[in-house]
Structure 1
Amino acid sequence: MEYWQVDVFAERVLAGNGLAVFPDCRGLSPAAMQELTRELRQFESIFLAPLDAANHFAARVFTVEEELPFAGHPVLGAAALLHHLHGGKADADWLLQLPEKSVGITTRRQGKGFYAEMDQGPATFGKVLDGASAATFAGAFGSRYDSRYPAQVVSTGLPYLLLPVTAAGLADARQREPLDAALAGIGAAFVFLMDVDAREGRTWDPLGVVEDIATGSAAGPVAAWRVSQGLEPAGQAFSLAQGRFVGRPSRLDVCVGEAGNVLVGGTVQLLAQARLLPSPAELD
């Protein structure tokens, strides 16, 4: 069984957010998918299996801790690899069926790599925090809440607490305490810290140990939130920045359509191809 290493939201290899993609995982159990993700130590891995319809694939995404119902950069990276393997020279469309939603992606060749753009659908807006609660969450990162803007839970598949902080607060942020219970209480899974003026953000794994480089599942909510706050016009593309603080600066292109659907895109580079030596049955 082959798997590939790709870099997503990356203008060149060894930039952006790394990802392991298994383009045909038939025969692998979920337990094996979880163990392989832990072995490869990527922030996320994605496992694909072809469905009956052309260019349709089932997809499962794992972090080292758990399976996710949706994730952004794995979807884009997987679609780019599918284009490399099956897409030819023309633009191509793909549908990935994740556990809780289907995502359509358009891909094209661009330079030595690919450009992939997904339609995350409309955003769902959840709880707005009062100032004291927002400041408490910011304090958990040693950061400072930017009270000019509301902190709010927003989702296009994964619910994020979008937390505006000062520029200095973003630079100095480090998660200092567990937040699982507090996040569950407001209907969120993760915190995404935002320097609103710079269009830049940061987020971490649930334990606050590993910082994500470029988070496609957060980019959609951030884009929708910015449009809802009147910071960006609907129908106009703009870019978000992430990854600078871990030495992997990344660009995430976003656009909120007039009808509310959120598009998230970026460049993808293929880095490496590898092969598992054991059979799938031997991994259980």
Structure 2
Amino acid sequence: MEYWQVDVFAERVLAGNGLAVFPDCRGLSPAAMQELTRELKQFESIFLAPLDTHNAFSARVFTVEEELPFAGHPILGAAALLHQLHGGRSDAEWLLQLPEKQVRIATRRHGKGFYAEMDQGPAEFGQVLDDAAADTFAAAFGSERDRRYPAQVVSTGLPYLLLPVTAAGLAAAKQRDSLDEALAGIGAAFVFLMDVDAREGRTWDPLGVVEDIATGSAAGPVAAWRVAQGLERPGQPFALAQGRFLGRPSRLDVCVAAAGNVLVGGEVQLLAHARLLPPLAELG
């Protein structure tokens, strides 16, 4: 079984967010997908299997801890690899069927790599936190809240608590407390800290151990939230920044269409192509 390593939201290789892509995982069990993700130690891996039409694939995304119902940079990275394998020289469109969401992605060749953009659909706006609750979450990161803007749960497939913090608060942030119970209580899966003025953010895995480099599933909610706050115009593209504190600065292009659908895109670079040595039966 072959797999590829790609860099997403990256203008060059060894930048952006790394990802392992398995372009044809037929015969591989979910347990084996989880174990392979742990072995490769990427923040996420994505496993594809062809469906009935040439440009449609089922997709499952795993972190080292769990399967996710939706994710951003794995979808873009997978679509770019599909273009490399099946797309030829012209622009292409792909359909990925995740367990709970169907996503369309447009791809094109761009420089030495690819550019991929997905339609995340309309955002769903959830709970707005009161000051006391927002302060509690900020304190869990040792951060300082930006009180000009509300902390709110927003989702385009994966619900994030979007927490505005100061520039100094973003730089100093480090998750110090377990937040699983508190997040479940507000209908969120993760916290995304935002320096609103700089359009920059940070987020961590649920245990607060691993910081994500560039989070496409959060970029959509952030874009929708910024438009709702009057900070951006519908139909006007803009860019978000992430990964600077990890030495992997990343650019996430976003736009909220006039109809309300959220578009998230970025550059993808192919880094490596590898083959698993054990027979499929041994992998499960």
TM-score with structure 1 setting the length: 1.00
| 2:157 is aligned with 1:157 | yes
- The CA distance in 2 between the partners of 1:234 and 1:259, in whole Å, is 9
Deviation of the 1:104 alpha carbon: 0.0
- The CA distance in 2 between the partners of 1:245 and 1:123, in whole Å, is 28
1:22 alignment partner in structure 2: 22
1:44 alignment partner in structure 2: 44
The answer for unaligned runs of 5 or more in structure 1 is none
Runs of 4+ in 1 over 3 A off after TM superposition: none
Q: What pairs with 1:210-221 in structure 2 (closer than 5 Å)?
A: 210-221=210-221
TM-score with structure 2 setting the length: 1.00
| 2:254 is aligned with 1:238 | no
- The CA distance in 2 between the partners of 1:34 and 1:101, in whole Å, is 20
- The CA distance in 1 between the partners of 2:193 and 2:280, in whole Å, is 39
Q: Which amino acid aligns with 1:8?
A: V
1:228-281 per-residue CA deviation (whole Å, 9 max, x = no partner) reads 000000000000000000000000000000010000000000000000011221
Q: Which amino acid aligns with 1:65?
A: E
1:256 alignment partner in structure 2: 256
Give the root-mean-square deviation of aligned CA atoms: 0.4
1:268 alignment partner in structure 2: 268
> 1:217 is paired with a residue of what secondary structure?
helix
Deviation of the 1:35 alpha carbon: 0.1
Aligned length: 284
1:197 alignment partner in structure 2: 197
Deviation of the 1:57 alpha carbon: 0.1
Q: Which amino acid aligns with 2:163?
A: L
- The CA distance in 2 between the partners of 1:168 and 1:68, in whole Å, is 31
The answer for unaligned runs of 5 or more in structure 2 is none
- The CA distance in 2 between the partners of 1:33 and 1:133, in whole Å, is 37
Q: What pairs with 1:1-284 in structure 2 (closer than 5 Å)?
A: 1-284=1-284
Deviation of the 1:182 alpha carbon: 0.1
1:173-202 per-residue CA deviation (whole Å, 9 max, x = no partner) reads 000000000000000000000000000000
1:7-33 per-residue CA deviation (whole Å, 9 max, x = no partner) reads 000000000000000000001000000
